[in-house]
Structure 1
């Protein structure tokens, strides 16, 4: 249990730094750690992924808010994009919460594995000149992208940063602007997603103690403080240092997690 507690604390610190550094909520780190923690606690396998995703998003809420406030001080957040997504991002998150209530843990793990693989490869192969358009798309295409980012991010248990970073950089936006804006995307996704997943898991008999729906409050209370404290550290690094080596490291991490999840699903 001591090793488990240390692992959760380390995961919280790393997720907080990543939240500030890449504008992500840290869920890509937290979900696999929480799945292993729940396995050690012998939680029913059918709901482990649901719990990991919902609990991750519960931690993402304050981390994203802290990261967003830190980035906004630098004036780098694309507030116009966030305002245009103020409705569609939460809508996608709520829709995903309803889907999560009826699909299996294995299906959620496949979704995480697929997205993690694509994003991991993209981070490893990323080049600054890779763009599909000279500027962000106009409506209604912009709203469609926001809806998809909100939907798939919730099913993956992340704040949407890794998807929004990719979206903005492919549309010729500076990396620092994408990172800063992604922190706001995390706020708009994680809050409605957590509410939806609390409702989706309400009074499930297999839930561990101190769970509010699919959100385990014990894990949130343990990880949240260090994650919040670490977020501004990542934000300072994001505005002061090149991140290519960290992008490569994060890409490798995602591919390792995807391979591990894929192996467990196939065996």
Structure 2
């Protein structure tokens, strides 16, 4: 058990730094690591992906608070955008999470692999939508939030890979988009983890220390480490060449996706 906690702490440390540094959401790292770890912890194969997604979202509740506070201290959070996008985020994430808890594990794994490949391609190409307009009003921003929340619930992330390009397209400066995305991760994580708890409640054969599809022991290790390291990532984002780091991270994501695909095959 202590060895497992050490692994979860390392997982959370990496996720926290990435959440603040790249604005991609630590779930991109947390989910595949948990998928690799959970089978050795007695998690039935049919629940591995759902438990990884639910635990990832629950951990982002803590990571997003720490990361958003660090970005807010630098004046990089648009709270007006946060207010407008949150209703859609809550609706999309909660509904998507409930649907995901009833989807086959194989489908969720394939969806996650495809998502990793799309994110990797975007990072390698460094493509950004042309900043050609301003943020829409409440209806448009909330509608975008619904889509961001829906996809985030299926892949267990805080939504940064979706919300940052959306805000950049609407002429929000990149560092401010990353900071605002960190704050948006909080309602995504709250609604998503709640839906995975409800959707997994009473399922047979779940291991000890689980609350629905949230693994409490893994959550503890990841949350503690990510809370401590997220501010470090936020500070680094203002000083390191994030473009080069993203390209290296994209290669890493491709390797992770290929490993997951090989496991399925």
| Structure 1 position 14, deviation (Å) | 0.7
Residue in structure 2 matched with residue 183 of structure 1 by the alignment: 182
Comparing 98-107 with 131-140, greater Cα deviation is found at: 131-140
| Structure 1 position 2, deviation (Å) | 6.6
Residue in structure 2 matched with residue 41 of structure 1 by the alignment: 41
Deviations 1:68-100 (A, max 9, x none): 111111111121111111211011111112101
Conserved? CA contact 1:24–1:186, under 8 Å: no
Deviations 1:169-222 (A, max 9, x none): 233322101110110110010001111110110121121111000001011112
Asked if 1:135 corresponds to 2:146, the answer is no
Separation of aligned partners in 2, 1:248 and 1:18: 13
Separation of aligned partners in 1, 2:68 and 2:236: 14
Comparing 240-249 with 44-53, greater Cα deviation is found at: 240-249
The 3-state SS of whatever aligns with 1:87 is helix
Give the direction of change, closer, same or farther, for the CA distance of 1:263–1:138 in structure 2 (3 Å limit).
Answer: farther
Residue in structure 1 matched with residue 238 of structure 2 by the alignment: 239
Give the direction of change, closer, same or farther, for the CA distance of 1:112–1:188 in structure 2 (3 Å limit).
Answer: same
Residue in structure 2 matched with residue 52 of structure 1 by the alignment: 52
Residue in structure 2 matched with residue 165 of structure 1 by the alignment: 164
Residue in structure 2 matched with residue 14 of structure 1 by the alignment: 14
Separation of aligned partners in 1, 2:160 and 2:125: 18
Conserved? CA contact 1:61–1:186, under 8 Å: yes
Asked if 1:255 corresponds to 2:246, the answer is no
| Structure 1 position 144, deviation (Å) | 2.1
Separation of aligned partners in 2, 1:89 and 1:97: 12
| Structure 1 position 132, deviation (Å) | 5.7
Conserved? CA contact 1:55–1:219, under 8 Å: yes
Give the direction of change, closer, same or farther, for the CA distance of 1:132–1:239 in structure 2 (3 Å limit).
Answer: closer
Q: Where do 5+ consecutive residues of structure 1 fail to align?
A: none
Conserved? CA contact 2:93–2:191, under 8 Å: yes
Separation of aligned partners in 1, 2:252 and 2:148: 21
| Structure 1 position 125, deviation (Å) | 0.7
Using structure 2 for the length normalisation, give the TM-score. 0.94
Conserved? CA contact 2:101–2:196, under 8 Å: yes
Conserved? CA contact 1:23–1:67, under 8 Å: no
Aligned pairs, number? 265
Conserved? CA contact 1:7–1:33, under 8 Å: no
Question: What RMSD, in angstroms, separates the aligned Cα atoms of the two structures?
Answer: 1.8
Separation of aligned partners in 1, 2:262 and 2:140: 36
Residue in structure 2 matched with residue 94 of structure 1 by the alignment: 94
Separation of aligned partners in 2, 1:112 and 1:17: 21
